[in-house]
């Protein structure tokens, strides 16, 4: 519920905000030359060699035409080649590897046919859902092996011999080492998703262990947003004679993104956040903060102000995280306040606005965050708060983006109108944080030793 009258609509953006249709970002290597995409995007899934049942599944999912990464990788994958796909989340990369795997599975169905490695639990669940939806016409069974969930239940699911396993590397290794009768020696397809992220998260050792127990006679797809030297070595260790395929970089895929910054004093962040959220009343937004504490505090404050805000961060239990995401996805909450745990891989289809309440410390994270909006041809807005402490980092981000971002236009006098209410809500949030911490402490001591469970309890209340 907005606390001031909304004066502008998204379609009436401030004049200073320009289209963000620049070329590439910070990542090395330099921008892949944009190959003509018009022809590829005009092709149908059938033209790419996808069989009718799966074309129908795509149509059921609302996929009218292949996305560029699908158009470019699917024919090569169907030829039986290993593929390196350089593409961002939001590009349709999941279906780019799922469709060829499902098509091959249909030709020779078997248990443990395909394995997908994902850096995060949320992404793993999304990928698994994608497989089951696309494969529903053929009754595909997929199971998820991720940390934070019951190992026994996962072992039972493995006992049911699913076709596809989607896993985070650490938990998969646990199962390979401890779950009786489970082996991947007959695996036919491996997909490594968000390889750069997997390696950034120090999954290197687990990946090595996994690769050692997989049969050499298999097809491998590796997807990554960037091609770092670590990814290069993983590629050498896991793919054989691969074809490398890149789609035009992230910024070309999000030409509908309007990104801007707002230079404000650190102490006024809450105020400007509230003001801007009011401007976008009714739109869905993700607010990125840098710490779990801030995520919780900002959520409390926004709720006091009448916004439908929900926190998402790595210290929530897995079920709370999924619950928060589901509420956001279903639209019952329209503002997700998140740490970077939510920045990558999450399939949140309709985010209108991304706000960097806390500026990320590197351009790569910036790119991943703003990639939550302006997806699949929709328009989107990204606004970054830059305070006196962030100037250097912000300049580095701009340098990496290869351009200057426009300043977001606000009427400061108008902002001041809500100052008192925001301050009051902020004071309330601080009180709530205190009682949250106290509750957590006391419950933790009495029942659960380290208080972890009580945080979860609280998060559930929150969610």
- Counting contacts by CB under 6 A, is residue 37 touching ligand AMP? no
What is the nearest approach in angstroms of ligand AMP to the Cβ of residue 213? 27
Per-residue contact track with ligand AMP, 94 to 123, x per CB under 6 A? Answer: xx----------------------------
Told to check if 154 binds ligand AMP by CB under 6 A, we report no
What is the C-alpha separation between 448 and 445, in angstroms, rounded? 6
Q: Residue 84 or 302: which CB sits closer to ligand AMP?
A: 84
Q: How many CB atoms lie within 10 A of CB 442?
A: 12
Site residue total, ligand AMP (CB under 6 A): 14
Task: Compute CA 132 distance to the chain's CA centroid, rounded to the nearest angstrom.
Answer: 19
142 binds ligand AMP (CB under 6 A): no
Stretch that binds ligand AMP, among 86-94, 225-233, 282-290, 382-390 (CB under 6 A): 86-94
- Taking CB under 6 A as the binding criterion, the range among 59-67, 168-176, 336-344, 430-438 that sits at the site for ligand AMP is 59-67
| Binds ligand AMP (CB under 6 A): choice among 75, 85, 90, 311 | 90
Neighbours of 94 (CB within 10 A): 25
In whole angstroms, the minimum distance from the beta carbon of 45 to ligand AMP comes to 8
Q: C-beta of 61: minimal distance to ligand AMP in Å? A: 6
- Residues 338 and 221 sit within 8 Å (Cβ to Cβ): no
**Tokens at 120, concatenated:** 């995060």
Near ligand AMP by CB under 6 A, which window of 83-91, 365-373, 392-400, 447-455? 83-91
From 62-70, 281-289, 298-306, 356-364, give the range in contact with ligand AMP by CB under 6 A: 62-70
Q: Rounded to the nearest 10 degrees, what angle do helices 391-401 and 363-370 cross at?
A: 70
Among 51, 83, 84, 93, binds ligand AMP (CB under 6 A): 93
Helix %, strand %, coil % of the chain (to 5):
45, 15, 40
Helix (H, G, I), strand (E, B) or coil at 357: coil
By CB under 6 A, residue 27 contacts ligand AMP: no
The pair phi, psi for residue 287, each rounded to 5°, is: -110, 120
Among 25, 73, 91, 120, binds ligand AMP (CB under 6 A): 91
**Of 22, 66, 73, 276, which one interacts with ligand AMP (CB under 6 A)?**
66
Is 328 among the residues that bind ligand AMP (CB under 6 A)? Answer: no
Tokens standing for residue 303 = 């709720």
Query: Interface with ligand AMP includes 347 (CB under 6 A)?
Result: yes
Q: Which of 25, 27, 67, 289 binds ligand AMP (CB under 6 A)?
A: 67
Q: How many of the other CB atoms lie within 10 Å of CB of 204?
A: 16
Round to whole Å and give the CA distance between 187 and 180.
17
Q: Tell how strand 257-263 and strand 380-386 pair up.
A: parallel
Classify residue 211 by burial, with Cβ atoms within 10 Å: 0-12, 13-18, 19+.
middle
Give how far Cα 435 sits from Cα of 162, 300, 317, Å: 45, 12, 20
Q: Provide DSSP, 335-371.
A: EEEE-GGGTSS---TT--EEEESS--SSHHHHHHHHT
Q: How far is the CB of 431 from ligand AMP (least distance, A)?
A: 39
Q: Minimum distance between the CB of residue 135 and ligand AMP, rounded to whole angstroms?
A: 14
User: How near is the Cβ of 41 to ligand AMP at its closest, in Å?
Assistant: 9
312 strand-pairing partners: 338
Q: Can you give the binding site for ligand AMP, defined by CB under 6 A? A: 63, 66-67, 70, 89-95, 347, 349, 376
């Amino acid at each position: 519920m907005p606390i001031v009258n909304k004066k502008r609509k998204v379609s009436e953006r401030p004049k200073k905000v320009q289209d963000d249709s620049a070329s590439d970002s910070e990542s090395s290597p330099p921008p892949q030359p944009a190959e003509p995409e018009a022809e590829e995007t005009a092709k149908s899934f059938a033209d790419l060699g996808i069989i009718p049942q799966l074309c129908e599944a795509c149509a059921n999912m609302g996929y009218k035409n292949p996305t560029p990464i699908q158009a470019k990788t699917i024919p090569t994958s169907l030829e039986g080649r290993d593929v390196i796909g350089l593409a961002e989340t939001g590009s349709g990369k999941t279906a780019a590897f799922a469709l060829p795997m499902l098509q091959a599975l249909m030709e020779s169905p078997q248990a443990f046919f395909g394995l997908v490695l994902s850096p995060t639990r949320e992404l793993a669940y999304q990928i698994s859902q994608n497989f089951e939806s696309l494969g529903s016409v053929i009754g595909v069974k997929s199971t998820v092996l991720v940390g934070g969930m019951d190992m026994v239940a996962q072992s039972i699911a493995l006992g049911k011999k699913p076709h596809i396993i989607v896993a985070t590397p650490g938990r998969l290794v646990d199962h390979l080492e401890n779950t009786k009768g489970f082996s991947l020696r007959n695996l036919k397809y491996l997909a490594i998703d968000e390889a750069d992220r997997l390696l950034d998260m120090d999954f290197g050792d687990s990946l090595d262990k996994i690769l050692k127990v997989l049969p050499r006679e298999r097809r491998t797809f590796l997807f990554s947003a960037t091609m770092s030297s670590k990814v290069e070595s993983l590629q050498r260790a896991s793919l054989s004679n691969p074809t490398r395929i890149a789609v035009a970089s992230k910024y070309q895929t999000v030409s509908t993104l309007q990104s801007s910054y707002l230079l404000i004093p650190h102490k006024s962040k809450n105020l400007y956040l509230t003001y801007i959220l009011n401007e976008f009343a009714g739109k869905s937004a993700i607010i990125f903060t840098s710490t779990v504490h801030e995520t919780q505090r900002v959520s409390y404050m926004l709720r006091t102000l009448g916004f439908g805000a929900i926190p998402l961060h790595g210290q929530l239990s897995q079920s709370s995280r999924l619950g928060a995401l589901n509420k956001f996805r279903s639209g019952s909450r329209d503002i997700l306040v998140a740490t970077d745990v939510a920045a990558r891989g999450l399939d949140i289809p309709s985010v209108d606005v991304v706000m960097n309440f806390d500026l990320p410390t590197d351009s790569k994270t910036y790119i991943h965050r703003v990639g939550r909006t302006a997806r699949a041809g929709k328009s989107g807005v990204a606004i970054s708060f830059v305070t006196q402490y962030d100037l250097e980092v912000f300049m580095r981000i701009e340098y990496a983006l290869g351009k200057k971002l426009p300043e977001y236009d606000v009427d400061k006098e108008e902002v001041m109108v809500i100052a008192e209410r925001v301050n009051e809500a902020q004071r309330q949030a601080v009180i709530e944080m205190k009682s949250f911490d106290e509750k957590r402490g006391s419950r933790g001591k009495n029942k659960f030793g380290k208080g972890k469970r009580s945080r979860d309890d609280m998060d559930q209340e929150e969610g």
